[in-house]
Amino acid sequence: METQVRAEDRIAQAIEKTKDPALARELLREVRRLAEKFLEAHGRPAAFMEVCGSHTHALAEFGIKYALRDVLKLLSGPGCPVCVTDQQEIDAMIALADGEDRIITTFGDMLRVPGSRGSLMKVKAEGRADVRVVYSPSDAVEIAQRHPDKQVIFLGVGFETTIPVLAAAVYEAESLGLENFSMWMSGKLVEPIVRYLLDTGETHIDAFILPGHVATILGRKGFLWLAEEYGVNGVISGFEMNEILSSLYILLDLVLKGKAEIVNNYPYVVREEGNPGAWKLAEKYFMPVDMAWREIDVIPKSGMGFRPEYAHFDAKKRFPVTVGKPKPTACRCGEVIRGLIEPEECPLFGKACTPAHPIGPCMVSSEGACAAHYKYLRQ
């Protein structure tokens, strides 16, 4: 009982002392103790999946994944928006850049993602297209204002956190009456892909480390279905060392007790209801659509696309692109994002595929599991 009370005190402290190393050591000991208890009781380590690329990166950077590798299975999930984008769609985005009257705008990670026949960076370097990196979709709107003789297209890739920001850019373009701004919309939703993973059962998952950023939009309520329908635990976590360690402690405590709950361990950022205002703006312009995920195929209503009344902002309709089936490679990013393999199990990892010469998006993106493994966990 005394140990339990002290552990709960330390979880509370973790919210205030997110980086305190002494507290981190105590939390790590408690997490290991519970993980060993689960291992002894079940004859296997507990398996938790993080559904956010930033958590993947933090678990590797802080050494948490390495420190617990013998007692706790931490699986990288489909939380990096660049990594889950279907290869054929990436090919289409690159082909889109070929028009002479266009300026393609995108976030930095998308620039280096390899398609079947090069990348946006390659077509930019060869002078074949005007491709520009922007820090926000609103920057693309500004470029459209400054270049009325050009069609400015923003490549909209992201989850629930990003989708309202994309909507805000469309709102801005609409307010300005811009006719030369459009968006290639490839928004993804967390719930359908998590349901897919649980329904297929191809990966055994005891609980989820839920994405703190997405939860700012959806709130804790947005994840209750996970416990209520599947009986699976989830903890909404921040991204600092002690926030993650305390989240792991909470999950282990729950699975050991056989409970199914969704815990908000990021309360100073995530509200119970999330941010309904932001999502209302997103739903003004976008609606759920069927979406292809990398090496998963199409999942019904798993993405967000333009509503018919805003088709004039939809680059997929204004500038239709036809591309063939992607050229097959030995890249196993699709299995990495489903938690089926560790990055080092891919035959290309650290050999043909490195951050300097990436083959797959998981090595390109700063949130990619392969990039995190290469930087922090490579043996």
Question: What pLDDT, on the 0 to 100 scale, is given for residue 71?
Answer: 98
Nearest Cα neighbor of 304 from 110, 196, 167 is 167
Question: What pLDDT, on the 0 to 100 scale, is given for residue 1?
Answer: 42
pLDDT more than 90, % of the chain: 79
Q: What is the pLDDT of residues 280-294, one digit of tens each?
A: 999 999 999 999 999
Mean pLDDT, residues 71-96 = 93
Mean pLDDT, residues 141-154 = 97
Domain boundaries, the chain: 1-378
CA distance 21 to 10: 12
State yes or no: pLDDT of 55 exceeds 90: yes
Mean pLDDT, residues 359-376 = 90
Residue 121 per-residue DSSP state: H
- Say which residues have a Cβ less than 8 Å from residue 2's Cβ, sequence separation at least 6: none
Sheet holding 207-211, edge to edge: 72-76, 46-50, 207-211, 233-237, 262-264
State yes or no: pLDDT of 102 exceeds 90: yes
State yes or no: pLDDT of 11 exceeds 90: no
Q: Indicate the average pLDDT of the chain.
A: 92
pTM: 0.91
Q: What is the pLDDT of residues 323-353, one digit of tens each?
A: 988 877 899 999 999 999 999 999 999 999 9
State yes or no: pLDDT of 195 exceeds 50: yes
Nearest Cα neighbor of 356 from 337, 369, 375, 342 is 375
Cα-based distances in Å from 78 to 98, 108, 189: 30, 19, 10
Q: Find out whether 233 and 247 touch, Cβ atoms under 8 Å.
A: no
Q: Find out whether 238 and 246 touch, Cβ atoms under 8 Å.
A: no
Is residue 274 helix, strand or coil? Answer: coil
Two tokens at 90? 């990436």
Question: What pLDDT, on the 0 to 100 scale, is given for residue 352?
Answer: 93
Q: What is the pLDDT of residues 60-83, one digit of tens each?
A: 999 999 999 999 999 999 988 989
Residue 349, beta-bridge partner list: 353
Question: What pLDDT, on the 0 to 100 scale, is given for residue 2?
Answer: 44
Local confidence band at 100 (pLDDT 50, 70, 90 cut-offs): confident
Mean pLDDT, residues 228-255 = 96
Local confidence band at 7 (pLDDT 50, 70, 90 cut-offs): low
CA distance 31 to 48: 13
Q: Find out whether 306 and 185 touch, Cβ atoms under 8 Å.
A: yes
Give the class (CATH, top level) of 1-378. alpha beta
Q: Find out whether 140 and 109 touch, Cβ atoms under 8 Å.
A: no
Q: Find out whether 39 and 32 touch, Cβ atoms under 8 Å.
A: no
Nearest Cα neighbor of 89 from 170, 188, 162 is 188
Two tokens at 165? 């920001």
Q: Which helix (H) or strand (E) holds 156?
A: strand 151-158
Mean pLDDT, residues 31-46 = 97
Q: Which residue has the higher pLDDT, 114 or 306?
A: 306
Question: What pLDDT, on the 0 to 100 scale, is given for residue 117?
Answer: 79
Per the listing, tokens 């997110």 go with 18
Q: Find out whether 130 and 100 touch, Cβ atoms under 8 Å.
A: no
